[in-house]
Amino acid sequence: MRVLALRALILALFLLAWEGVARAANPLLYVPPSAVLAALGRLLALDSYPDLLPSVLLTLREIAVAYAPILGALYAVPAVVWYPSLMLFFGLDAASKIAFGFLLGFFPITLAVLAGIRQVNPHMLAVARAFGARPLTVFVKVMIPAMMFTLVGGLRTGLALSVIGVIVGEILGSKAGMGALINHAYGLFRTSVYVALVLVTLILIVGSDAVASLVERRAQRWSE
């Protein structure tokens, strides 16, 4: 309780300092927390951007599709270098954002799978085969539980990078989605709405990581 109270005090002091500094500065560049809360209320009430919900759903769909097809990709160069080519090939619609999110999420998942395979005890595989276990049974009953901890950790990291890739792709060039709304608000110097949109995006990122964390804990208990 003391730690929580101290954290709450630090947060309150930070918000008060932010409020005071922002009120004395240029309102186009600095926005106080009170204005952000008001803008967030208007945003959630669909006054600032009536298409907020379709944009959130579009971003979530792009993240889901980007995270799902982990089949193979070239990751020899930084993924951001590929984005202009992805826009030329896929256009400014959802496909280029999905491809960019896929590129960012592929590498950690692949490394996790390879590391998990190396962690499997070869003696366990030999014993399973000696008792007549088929290859599919060996994979499900021996390999997956043995590599579960590393695999789920890699999947969680890949999900976080896929989320970041999709949103960054939308900011760099998109006609819809949360990144497009952020660009629009930023370009019009609607600073309070811009910060509110960033908060909504942060909630999406933290929420997806929280869900991945729950899945990771369940998987660890299953493997134990």
Query: Quick one: pLDDT at residue 99?
Result: 78
Is 0.75 topped by the overall pTM? Answer: no
From the centroid of its chain, how far is CA 193? 21
CB 182 within 8 A of CB 171: yes
Q: Which of 206, 209, 182, 207 is nearest to 196 (CA)?
A: 182
Tell me the CB-side half-sphere exposure of residue 106, using CA atoms within 13 A: 18
CB 192 within 8 A of CB 38: yes
Query: Quick one: pLDDT at residue 109?
Result: 79
Query: Quick one: pLDDT at residue 73?
Result: 47
Q: How far is CA 7 from CA 16, 36, 80, 199, 207, in A?
A: 14, 21, 37, 20, 21
Q: Which of 118, 172, 168 is nearest to 147 (CA)?
A: 118
Question: Please, what is the Cα angle at 30 between 28 and 32, to 5 degrees?
Answer: 115
Q: What is the DSSP string of 156-201?
A: HHHHHHHHHHHHHHHHHS-SSSHHHHHHHHHHTT-HHHHHHHHHHH
Query: Quick one: pLDDT at residue 217?
Result: 77
**Could you report the per-residue pLDDT of 38-54, keeping only the tens digit for each?**
888 888 888 888 888 88
Query: Quick one: pLDDT at residue 72?
Result: 45
Q: Which of 111, 112, 85, 104 is nearest to 96 (CA)?
A: 85
Residue ranges in the chain modelled with pLDDT below 50: 70-73
Query: Quick one: pLDDT at residue 168?
Result: 79
Query: Quick one: pLDDT at residue 71?
Result: 44
Query: Quick one: pLDDT at residue 193?
Result: 85
Question: Please, what is the Cα angle at 153 between 148 and 155, to 5 degrees?
Answer: 95
